[in-house]
Amino acid sequence: MNANAQIWVDADACPVAIKDILFRAAEREQIPVTLVANQYLRTPPSRFIRAVQVPGGFDVADNEIVLRVVADDLVVTQDIPLAALVIGKGALAIDPRGELHTPETIAQRLTMRNFMDELRGSGVDTGGHAPFHARDKQAFANQLDRWLTQRRQARH
């Protein structure tokens, strides 16, 4: 793992609780965390946390993340196609519920996402995302901690 790895956040749909975990991790681990969104984002004052506002439009924030991400970075996103793109560049992706996407898992997740899109497109009500729970927040924190531990070990 690259000891200079950093965290990118697809921030438009990222829960506040997850941003708070990331803000604390940025300070504790002195790791750059960059939130990318097509709206203004308030961030706490920190030399490790920044926000990038991109113009509105389809996939503009995603494209900005793909442009900037490098191998071993971590991307926080619920967007499966974005996760697939950053994994293709050697980064990892984790969703706000703590699911880690890897080269081994992303193809299946992309296939399932496309299948669900087809169902919705044909008028089938597939429900939606389940409500965000404390267990999701804990799963995310645990997965983030594993990644941070690997980064820390790479630095020493």
Q: Determine the pLDDT at residue 128.
A: 64
User: What pLDDT score does 47 carry?
Assistant: 96
- pLDDT reported for residue 13: 85
The beta strand positions in the chain, using DSSP E, are 7-10, 33-37, 49-53, 74-76, 92-94, 100-101
Put residue 123 in one of left, alpha, beta given phi > 0 → left and psi -120 to 50 → alpha: left
pLDDT recorded at residue 26: 97
Averaged in consecutive runs of 10 residues, what is the pLDDT profile of the chain (156 residues)? Answer: 87 94 97 96 95 92 96 94 94 95 82 66 70 92 95 80
Q: What local confidence, expressed as pLDDT, does residue 94 receive?
A: 97
Model's pTM, two decimal places? 0.88
* pLDDT given for residue 132 in this prediction: 86
